[in-house]
Amino acid sequence: MTVTEPKPSYKYVGTRPVRHDGLEKVTGRARFAADLNMSGQLHGIVVRSPHAHARIVSIDTSEAEAMPGVKAVITGDDFPAVEPGHRQYDMCINVIARDKVFYEGHALAAVAASTRDQAQAAAAAVKVEYEVLPAVLTIDQALAADAPVLHAHMMTAGANPPAEEPSNISNITRFSGGELDAGFAEADLVIEREFTTQPVHQGYIEPHACVADTGQDGHTTIWCSSQGHFNVRSSTATLLGWENTRIRVIPAEIGGGFGGKTTIYLEPLAVALSAKAGRPVKMVMTRDEVFRATGPAPGTKLRIKLGVKRDGTLVAGDAYLIYTNGAYAGPGGLLGAMTVFESYKIPNFEIEALDVVINTARSAAYRAPAAPLTAYAMETMLDEIAEELGIDPIDFRIQNAVTEGDPSTMGFPFARIGFVECLEAVRDHPNYKAPLGPNQGRGIAAGYWFNIGESSSATVNLNEDGTATVVTGSPDIGGSRASMALMAAEELGIDVYDIRPVVGDTEAVGFTDVTEGSRATFATGMAVVEACRRMVVELRGRAAKMMGVEVDDIDWVDGQAVYTGSDGDKAPLSVAEITAKAKRTGGPLTATGSLEAHGAGPGFAVHVCDLEVDPETGVVRVVRYTASQDAGTAIHPSYVEGQIQGGVAQGVGWALNEEYIYDSDGVMENPSFLDYRVPVASDLPMIDAIIVEVPNPAHPYGVRGVGETGIVPPIPAVANAIYGATGCRIRDLPMSPIRVLDAITSNGGSNGA
Partner 1 sequence: MAVRVHLSSNLRGPTGGIAEVEADGSTVGALIDDLDRRYPGLGDALRAGVSVVIDGLLIAHPEYEPVADGAQVYFVPQTAGG
Which among 85-93, 272-280, 315-323, 516-524 is the span making contact with partner 1, rule CB under 8 A?
Answer: 516-524
Footprint (CB under 8 A) of partner 1, residues 22-81: none
C-alpha 444, offset from chain centre: 23
Of 106 and 704, which has the nearer Cβ to partner 1? 704
Q: Give the residue, chosen from 102, 130, 175, 323, that forms a contact with partner 1 under the rule CB under 8 A.
A: 175
698 binds partner 1 (CB under 8 A): yes
Minimum CB separation from partner 1 for residue 296, in Å? 12
Q: Is position 713 an interface residue for partner 1 (rule: CB under 8 A)? A: no
Can residue 367 be called a binding residue for partner 1 (CB under 8 A)?
yes
- φ and ψ at 445, to 5 degrees? -160, 155
User: Residue 109's closest CA among 241, 255, 269, 234?
Assistant: 269
Instruction: Give the closest residue to 478 by CA, choosing from 365, 369, 368, 636.
Output: 636
φ, ψ for residue 431, nearest 5 deg: -60, -25
**Could you tell me the sign of the dihedral formed by the alpha carbons of 463, 467, 470, 476, in that order?**
negative
Q: Rounded to the nearest whole angstrom, what is the least distance from the CB of residue 623 to partner 1 in the complex? A: 29
Query: Considering only residues 452, 619, 667, 684, which one is a binding residue for partner 1 as defined by CB under 8 A?
Result: 452
Smallest separation, CB 714 to partner 1 (Å): 15
**Contacts with partner 1 in 554-613 (CB under 8 A)?**
596, 598-600
- Nearer Cβ to partner 1 (505/708): 708
Q: 391-421 as b/e, with b when 16 or more CB fall inside 10 Å? A: bebbebbbbbbbeeeeebbeeeebebbbbbb
State how beta strands 454-462 and 468-472 pair. antiparallel
Rounded CA-CA distance 326/260 in Å is 14
Q: Whole-number minimum distance, CB 476 to partner 1, in Å?
A: 16
The distance of Cα 75 from the centroid of its chain, to the nearest Å, equals 31
Between residues 522 and 676, which has the closer beta carbon with respect to partner 1?
Answer: 522
Rounded Cα–Cα distance for residues 55 and 106 (Å): 12
Query: What is the C-alpha separation between 349 and 678, in angstroms, rounded?
Result: 36
Residues 95 and 264: beta-carbon distance below 8 Å: yes
Q: How far apart are CB 268 and partner 1 at their closest, in Å? A: 22
Among 104, 379, 454, 641, binds partner 1 (CB under 8 A): 454
Nearest approach, Cβ of residue 698 and partner 1 (Å): 6
Choosing from 34, 47, 97, 368, the residue that interacts with partner 1 (CB under 8 A) is 368
Question: Residues 6 or more apart from 205 whose CB is under 8 A from it?
Answer: 255, 256
Of positions 450, 604, 625, 662, contacts partner 1 by CB under 8 A: 450
Question: Given the rule CB under 8 A, which of 21-29, 306-314, 444-452, 540-548 is the region that contacts partner 1?
Answer: 444-452
| The only residue of 75, 118, 170, 173 in contact with partner 1, by rule CB under 8 A | 173
Instruction: Name the residue nearer to partner 1 (CB basis): 118 or 202.
Output: 202
Beta-bridge partners for 101: 54
**Amino acid at the residue 248:** R
Yes or no: say if 563 and 621 are a contact pair by the CB < 8 Å rule.
no
Residue pair 426/432 in contact (Cβ under 8 Å)? The answer is yes
Per-residue contact track with partner 1, 519 to 548, x per CB under 8 A?
x-----------------------------
- Binding string, residues 115-134; x marks residues near partner 1 by CB under 8 A: --------------------
Residues 220-259 as x/- pattern, contact with partner 1 by CB under 8 A = --------------------------------------xx
The half-sphere exposure of 693 on its side-chain side, counting CA atoms within 13 A, is 20
Minimum Å gap between C-beta 376 and partner 1 is 17
Stretch of 135-143, 446-454, 485-493, 634-642 contacting partner 1, by CB under 8 A: 446-454
Q: In whole angstroms, what is the distance from residue 731 CA to residue 742 CA?
A: 13
The residue ranges that bind partner 1 (CB under 8 A) are 158, 160, 173-177, 202, 258-260, 262, 331, 334-335, 338, 365-369, 408-413, 415, 449-454, 516-519, 596, 598-600, 697-698, 707-708
